[in-house]
């Protein structure tokens, strides 16, 4: 199992709306994440907009590619893109900064 942690930066003036949107993630988006191997997926948001994502998957690149092929993902990414800083024309799922795992207790 591959453990993945990543960072993005939510715009300060969009923090509350970003949190609200994630209280009502589209059911078809949730299904797509599950079907493409995203497990134990969590997002954590600091009050300055730093977003930390964590998930477990058998193969992260394969899981990303499978999501990228889904129409629901394209629609979700278009809706979420305005919430983020420094994407430089990329979708949020393309602009995430993956962190290197340096320690795991188990």
Q: Which domains does the chain have, with CATH numbers?
A: 2-99 (3.30.70.100)
**CA separation for the pair 62, 38 (Å, rounded):** 10
Looking at every residue in the chain, the average pLDDT score rounds to 95
Q: What is the pLDDT of residue 27?
A: 97
**CA separation for the pair 67, 32 (Å, rounded):** 7
Query: How do residues 21-65 score in pLDDT, each as one tens digit?
Result: 999 999 999 999 999 999 999 999 999 999 999 999 999 999 999
Percent of the chain with pLDDT over 70: 100
Active-site residue set: 22
**CA separation for the pair 15, 9 (Å, rounded):** 10
Q: In three state form, how does the secondary structure of the chain look?
A: CEEEEEEEEECHHHHHHHHHHCCCCCHHHHHHHHHCCCEEEEEEECCCCEEEEEEEECCHHHHHHHHHCCHHHHHHHHHHHHHECCCCCCCHHHHCEEECCCCCCC
Tokens 């591959």 belong to 2
Query: How do residues 1-26 score in pLDDT, each as one tens digit?
Result: 999 999 999 999 999 999 999 999 99
pLDDT at 87 over 90: no
pLDDT at 89 over 90: no
CA atoms within 13 A on the CB side of 21: 15
Q: What is the pLDDT of residue 13?
A: 97
């Amino acid at each position: 199992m591959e453990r993945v942690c990543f960072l993005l930066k939510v715009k300060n003036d969009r923090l509350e709306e970003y949190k609200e949107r994630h209280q009502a993630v589209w059911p078809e988006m949730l299904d797509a994440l599950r079907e493409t191997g995203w497990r134990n997926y969590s997002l954590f948001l600091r009050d300055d907009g730093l977003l930390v994502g964590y998930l477990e998957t058998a193969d992260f690149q394969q899981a990303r590619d499978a999501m990228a092929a889904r129409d629901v993902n394209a629609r979700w990414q278009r809706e979420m893109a305005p919430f983020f800083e420094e994407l430089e024309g990329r979708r949020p799922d393309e602009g995430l900064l993956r962190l290197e795992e340096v320690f795991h207790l188990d």
